[in-house]
Structures are given as C-alpha cells and as structure tokens.
Structure 1
Amino acid sequence: MIKDYRPRVIWHILDTDNPPQIPDHKIFVGSGKRLLQKLAFGLIPSFVQRKLHQNPSKSNKLHPTAYLDGLRGVASFIVFMGHYTEETLGWYTEPYGAYEDGAPSSLLQLPFVRVLYSPRPMVHIFFIISGYVLAYKPLKQIHSQQLSALTITLSSSVFRRALRLFLPSLITMFVMALAVHFDLSDDRFAPSFFTLSDQMSHWWDTCWGLLRASWAVNDLSYPQPEYNPALWTIPVEFAQSMILFITIIGLSRCITIVRFLMLASIIAFCFFGGQLFTVEFLGGMFIAELTLLQDGSLFTPTSSPTLLPKYDSEELRHKIKECPRIRHYGTKAFWIMNVICGLFIASWTNNHANEVWGIRFFDAHTPEPYHGQQVWFCLGAFQIVGALTQLKFLQTIFNTPIPQYLGNISYALYLVHNLCLTIMEPRVNPYFYRYFGNTTSLGRHLTWVGGLAVYLPVIICVADIFWRAVDTPTVKFARWLEAKCIMTPKKT
C-alpha cells in the first residue's frame, strides 16, 4: 500500500465522496498552537531567527558608510551601559583612586576603559554621524550635478524626518506611561496618577513638550522629557536636521572650493557663537564632503614607481619611491593619535574633573563661550569620527556582524533601555546587593557583572522587537505616506 502524502486540503478536494472528519476541537487547538508558535517565534531576536531558518541567508552587501552604522550601534550600547552603571554603582563614575567610599577603585574607572560606560560623549558622536549620513546622498548628487534629483531627495528627507524621529519616541513614552501607572516601572522620571485618564493626559502634555522643544534648536533650558529623559536629543536631532537641509540646498550650486570655504565659515561662526550642536551636524556634512572628494581621487597620490623618471642616482630613485610610503604611515599615525586623544576625552568623569590628570588641563582651557566638558566632547567626537573615515582597519572592525547588528537596532535600543531598566532594577538590584554587596570591591564587580548578565539579554530582545514592530514599520509608513501625498508630474 502506497501512503498518500497529499496535503489534507488537496485530498479533500479530490476525494469529495469521503472527506476527512476532523473534530472541531482539534482544529481550534491546532490553530491556537500555530498562533502561539508564531508569537513565540516573533519574540526571538532577529539574529536567532535567521539562524533557525534552514535556508542560507543571502549575504547582505554593506554600503560604503556601513561602518558609521556600526559606530552608532556601539555608541547606543555605551549609552545603555552608562545609564545602567550610573544607576547601579555610582562610584564607578568617579575618578580612579578618589571618592572610593570604603573600597578600592576598580580598573573599570581607568581612562580609556571607562569609555565603555561613558554615555555623554556618545551623544555628540550621534549628532556628527547624523550630519554625515543625512548629507552624504545629497552631496553625491551635487558632485554629479543631479540638481533635480537633489531637490527630490531633500524634499523627501524633510517630509519624513519628523515621523522618523518622533513617532517611535511618542510610542515609547506611551508604553512607559502605562508601565508607571500600573506600577510596573518606578516613578523616578514621571509621576504616577490615580486614574488612567490622568496618566494619559500627562503623557499627552509630555509629548507636546517634546515637540515644542524642537524650536529651541540649541537651547536646552526646556525640561527633560518625562518618562524617558534620554529623549532630549530627539528635538535637537530634528531641528539640526532642518538646518542641515537648508545649508545643503543653499550651497548646492556653489563650486566645490566655494562650498568648502562657506561651510567652514558657517561652522566657525556657529562654534564661536556657542551653537555646538549645529557645529556637529554641519561638521558631519564637512567630513562627508571630504570623504566624497577622496573617493573621487582628488587627494590620492598619483605617483607610481612604474611612472617615475629614470634618475642617474639609484639612491635618489629609492628615496622618491619611499615618499608615498612615508606619507602613508605618517597620515595613519596622525589619525591613530586622534583616536587616542578622542577616547581620552571621552573618559571624562562625571564629577571632580579637576582632580584627573590631563582632564583638568582641558577643563582649565575651555574656550569661550563654553563651560566644562561639552565642547571637549564635541572635539573628541570629531576626532573619532574623522579618524574612522580614514582608517580602514577601524572600518573593518565596525563592519563586523555585532556592531552592524547593534547599528540596526541602535535607535530602538536608545529608546527602550530606560524603560527596561526602570522596570527591572527595583526588582533585581536588591538581590545583588543582598548576596554580593556593594561595599567591597569584589561585591561591586559581581553586582555590576551580574546585573549585565540579567539586563543585557532582556534589553537586546526588547530592542529587537521594538525595531521590528515599531521602528522599521515607522520608516515604511513615512515612505507610504509620502507616496500618497506627493504630486505626480503631469505628462506633456
């Protein structure tokens, strides 16, 4: 007897005289099981889903600036690490060897190492990368004289920018408002109201406050958004994006050297005028312009050993051959020193900077009209991003799978990590304090590592889900809405 492997539906169609009798409860249970399986599979992070699929995934070719996505992902991860460390073990934000509170300092507090949990410099890296990425395509079109395509690109960017930035942010605050109201999250950032309607009214007012802060541009006197203070960067991103688009369109018809000089003049004017975030966005545009010029071989050496003229002296010929190599290694050393200096500045402690070697020198020589660390974070971020565009071995590091994955979920990770921490920390940290303690060096290290072991997988999973369920659909929705709203050109 040959077993019939035909699907049940096909068998039912072909054999209408003897349809299979399937009990209703089995159909219900089978449908429910499949639904639960789909839900469970959807909760698994995307990189695990790809591993579970037996079909080999197609190799995704990285775009030319993918390494900046990797840097943005690592920076977003460091923001999470910083907020976690500050709230769990505030001692680690102090300088090494000072304010130890009964236990010796940790190696985690040493310069360069502490960059792992220094969130403040990362914000400036975000802004420079945003300026670079937003300007990259329009500048390519300017270089190729595609001015008609440029207007379409900038029009699309302006149309979609607010939705791209604010819609996921408002959804995040909505979830956090519900968490606060139902006592799932503590109320360290926002008050809890007795009725849900009052809570939603407060959330709505907070949303409007976040939107109104876009008018401030560089003025941070607006109160930090309740429910998620990390969202103070979103209005800055939006306002500076608009300034960037205006600058691009205003300089689009200039010849390259004039555009360079005018852009540099605008950046200098903003810097000495105290408009630091504008400096970072326009500085990202400046780095993008330099990168495009390098790709066009304007700055690449043209000398080649095969094209050298025949000199009488072999020693002279050898020296000429060595010149490009010396210039190459000298340039490489220059950019490596920039990375080292940028990372040292990023090691700036939250407090008592005047007691840290090197940092107190920078702090004492802060240029007017700035005060403290912010301007130095800006300059250090320029050193890091600029060096990354020049050092191929660093680009290779940030093009590896982990930084690229963090780059994919970077915005979601930035938005949801505070939500997860406010829910988990009040419930989990007391256990670590009880069993490991936080008064000894060993206890603090065990508490710090133990908290990471618990929080990190959860936060990555939540960020991955938010990326797939909110962030990516927001991008698609903005494109769909734009397609519905734009005018179609009339046929002549």
Structure 2
Amino acid sequence: MPTKLEGLLDRESLQDVSLKPTTWKPTRGLIRWSLDVMRPEFLTIRSSKTKKALRTTAWLDGLRGFSAFLVYIHHNGLWAHGGMGNLIFENSFGYEGRHYFSALPFVRIFFSGGHFAVAMFFVISGYALSVKSLSLLQSGKATTAADTIGSALFRRWLRLYIPIIAVTFTWVCFRHSTKIWMDFRKREDTFHEEVKKWYYAFKNSSFIFTGSVYEFSLKYHPHLWSIPLEFKGSIIIYTVLSALSRCTNSTRMWCEAGLVFYFLYIVDGYYGAMFMAGMLLCDLDLAAQKDQLPRFFTALSGFKEFIFFHMFVLALYLGGVPGYDGAAVDRAVLIAKSPGWFWLSYLKPQAVFDAKWFYLFWAAILAVASIPRLPWLKRFFETRCCQYLGRISFSLYLVHGLVIWSVCDRLYAAVGMHRPEHAEGIPQWIDIFPLPKKGPMGLTLAFWIPQIIILPLTLYLSEILTKLVDEPSVKFTNWLQQRAVAQTPSQPQPLHMQSSSPVL
C-alpha cells in the first residue's frame, strides 16, 4: 500500500494508507490547491468573529508590510511623474522656491517614504533575526542559542536568494518571449546570451564580499540593491550573537551600543548600524518583559507615552530627509540648503558618505522603538490589512517594479502621463484615455485612477509569488537544514525553524 507523507517537513515514520475513493482523490486535491493559489486573498480581508491570536511581534510584520506599501507608492509616483517627480518628491518643501503639498513635512512620507521604509526594513531585520537567540541568551541557554544561530545562518542565503533567482529569471524569460517594449535596459540579441549574462551578473553579486551591490540590480532589477546589504547585515547579527553569547546581559548591550556607534560614526556602515540598532532594541524589549531594564529607563516610565509619541513625530520628520538623486548631487550640501534642515545638517558625521542615511537611521530606530509603546499605533500595525501586507511584503518588494515597467508605464501613458520615450516605444498608448492632471502633484486623477488596476494586479502577483516561491523556499530551507543536521535520539527538535520574512 502507498505510504502517507505529512508534507515537506515530514519527520515521522511512513504509514500505510488506503486508496479508497473517499481518501485518495489526487485530482480533487490538485484542483483545490490550484484554486487556493489563484484565489485573491486581498478581496477577503475583513474582520471576522473568530480572530487568530497574534504573536507578540505581530506589529513588526505589519510594519514591514506597510513599509513595503510605501515603497510601492514611492516607485509608482516617481515613475509616473518622471524627472519632475524626483525633483519635487525628493526635495524639501520650499527648496529653490518650489512649494508643493506632497513635499510638506510628514505628508512627504507618503509620497517619498521608500528610503525611510528600507531603513525600517534593516532595523526590523536586526530585531527579528536576533529575537529568538537573545531570548535564549537572556535565559542563560547559550548552547541552545548557538544551535539557533547556526541554523539561521545556514538558511539565510537561500531564504533571500531563491525568490530573487525565480523572479529575475522569469523576468528574463518574459522579456524575450513577449519582446514587448519597455523603458528598461536593452535586451540581448539572443535568449542564450541573455541567460549567460544574467548568470554571470548574479553569481558575482551574490558573493557579497567583493564587487558592487548594483552590478546585478541595475541590469535586471534596480530595486534589489538592498538585498546584498540585507545579507551583510544578517551576517553581522549572527556574528555578534555568537561573539557575545557568553557575555553578561549588560556587557552584551553595551557592546551592541558600541557597534551601533562604530558603524554610524566611525565607518560608513549605516546598514550595519541599523541592523545592530534593531538587535539592541530587541535586547532591551526582552529585558523589559522581565523587568530587568536599567534604572534610567524605569525612572521615566511615568512619562512613557509622552516621550515615545514625540519620538515618533521626530521619526516622521527625519524620515522625510531630502534624497534628490540628481547628477553630481552632494546630499550633504543639498540637505544644508533645504528649508527646515540647515541646523540638522551639522549633525551628520564625517564617516557617512551618503548623508540621507544618517537621518534615516535615526528615523527608523525612533519609529521602531516608539510603535510598540503607543497602543493606538501598535494596534494599527496589527490590523488584518497590515498583517496581510506583512505576509506578502518580500514578494511585493520583488514584484512591484516588474509591474511598473511592463504594465504601469503603458497605463500612465494612456491617461496622459507620458514621457518622450513613449513617443518612440509605445506611441499607440499615448493619450488613449486622458485624465485630468490638475491638482496637487501626486494627488491627481491621472495618477490615482490607474491604481484601481495597478494595485490589485500588484497585490495579486505578490500573492502568487508568496504561495509558489516565497513560502515554499522557507519550507525548503527548513527541510534542507533538518536533513543536513545530525539529530541524536535524546536531542529534541529545536523550535526555531520558522523564518521571518526578510524585507526588504
């Protein structure tokens, strides 16, 4: 008789199972699986009488998802408005006499919050990657923590890069099979040549210790520039956890704070500072749960909500740091000349090459520190919508650019938001259905009406990628790690196999 398997992570002995029609229905199972994959989940996001219990860090998932949505809005806005979008959205209100509603402090986060979102990705990753190990270390279980760290490091590269391989290779195949015009890097003459160059670029960039983080991303997916930094930051976290595993809790926290200072003020390692800041916040949160915070923090407990509310407001202001990406632009000079940023420009340390990341570091750490301590704000990120976005956040980050270059570009041209390149590449799409472009920049009907098509399509494709690639890659890496590690009969199975979503 056939054997019964409980799934990809099956570890039990094989069982015989009857092939009666009531139990063996492979066709029906395949159809049901296909329907589950193809059914859009975003259409069923609503409250129900039976709510699942949320994890204590569910707000982190929601924050990650909302940050991915900010990246989506940012990139769509920049693409639809062309060079003018970069000039307005990425500069401060009043810069060179330009006054736009979308450039106002706090408001600008919604239109140009993509950089702020990436900074929060890095802080969230530092927090999420270290929470299990730090919990064990604070409980004095250094040996178990070492197993946890080794398991996480074993899986991390595959966890990040399997979806990237799938997405970029599919993108290469799509471009060569359809041959449709895109305002993107020119295709190679043959599919074979394209695949060869794709492989060369990927293998070089996947080795993060040499080369440029942009070598692969500029050619095949510009939004992937952050992934090598995500992996570098992950290695920093795992290395520090291992190095400090035998230290006392207070010593470990001081070392974490010292590394944050080192990465931010001594060397140009802003992403390392963000990861380490996330780890430090996690360490402090775990200590707070056990009432083991230093007296300095407990002395201010009566003013907690007042302090963290103003920290969050400051985070939103700093998150709107000007980031105009023009030719030969020195962002330190740009920030100094921007209204509302002159005095803040003096805070940038010499070590930071790209000035905006210094302010985004503080914006991200203040936001992540504040949200769990403001109940009304924490509840927002625990809503079904944010939790849904958190589940598909990595896929949304990977997919939204492909939709922009292939579909959105044509829709924007059709409603009247066309660029000179469209006249050469897709003249038949220009002004098919022109819509009004009057009103505050970023809030026009010509931009938002196409979102009725673009947003559901992007969310749907993100769901498909999550179900077919992202979640299976998590299961595969867990399975591979389980098969690779020798288990002794007396050794219980570790409870750290569930991986957090990476980004990005």
Tell me the TM-score normalized by structure 2. 0.78
Equivalent position of 2:425 in the other structure? none
Equivalent position of 1:227 in the other structure? 220
Q: Structure 1 pair 329/416, CA: closer, same or farther in 2 (3 Å)?
A: same
Distance 1:119 1:230 in 2: 11
SS at the partner of 1:360?
Answer: coil
Equivalent position of 1:141 in the other structure? 136
Say which of 147, 172, 176 aligns to 2:171.
176
- Please say if 1:264 is aligned against 2:253: no
Distance 1:78 1:461 in 2: 17
Equivalent position of 1:348 in the other structure? 321
C-alpha displacement of 1:295 = 0.4
Paired amino acid for 2:237: L
Say which of 345, 349, 370 aligns to 2:352.
370
* Matched ranges for 1:73-84 at <5 A: 73-84=65-76
Distance 1:186 1:167 in 2: 27
Say which of 336, 339, 354 aligns to 2:309.
336
Q: Structure 1 pair 191/251, CA: closer, same or farther in 2 (3 Å)?
A: same
Equivalent position of 1:475 in the other structure? 474
Distance 1:285 1:444 in 2: 38
C-alpha displacement of 1:480 = 1.0
* Matched ranges for 1:64-79 at <5 A: 64-79=56-71
* Cα deviation digits, residues 188-245 of structure 1 (max 9, x gap): 4433123221221122123213302x1159x757564422111111111112211211
Which stretch of the first structure deviates more once superposed, 384-393 or 152-161? 384-393
- The answer on whether the counterparts of 2:68 and 2:393 sit within 8 Å (CA) in structure 1 is yes
Paired amino acid for 1:402: C
- The answer on whether the counterparts of 1:339 and 1:383 sit within 8 Å (CA) in structure 2 is yes
Which stretch of the first structure deviates more once superposed, 462-471 or 380-389? 380-389
Distance 1:478 1:224 in 2: 24
- The answer on whether the counterparts of 1:210 and 1:225 sit within 8 Å (CA) in structure 2 is no
* Cα deviation digits, residues 79-102 of structure 1 (max 9, x gap): 1111100010143414445679xx
- The answer on whether the counterparts of 2:125 and 2:275 sit within 8 Å (CA) in structure 1 is yes
Equivalent position of 1:247 in the other structure? 240
Paired amino acid for 2:306: A
Equivalent position of 2:501 in the other structure? none
Distance 2:269 2:442 in 1: 44
Equivalent residue pairs, number:
433
Say which of 330, 342, 353 aligns to 1:360.
342
SS at the partner of 2:53?
Answer: coil
Equivalent position of 2:407 in the other structure? 424
Mark the runs of 5 or more structure 1 residues left unpaired by the alignment: 1-8, 12-30, 302-323
Q: Structure 1 pair 422/186, CA: closer, same or farther in 2 (3 Å)?
A: farther
Equivalent position of 1:112 in the other structure? 106
C-alpha displacement of 1:187 = 4.5
Q: Structure 1 pair 150/481, CA: closer, same or farther in 2 (3 Å)?
A: same
1 or 2, which has the higher helix percentage? 1
* C-alpha RMSD of matched pairs (Å): 3.1
Distance 1:61 1:223 in 2: 41
Work out which of the two has the higher radius of gyration on C-alpha atoms and give 1 or 2. 1
- The answer on whether the counterparts of 1:125 and 1:381 sit within 8 Å (CA) in structure 2 is yes
Paired amino acid for 2:435: F
* Cα deviation digits, residues 271-325 of structure 1 (max 9, x gap): 2222211111111110000000100012499xxxxxxxxxxxxxxxxxxxxxx9x
Identity of aligned residues (%): 24
- The answer on whether the counterparts of 1:75 and 1:126 sit within 8 Å (CA) in structure 2 is yes
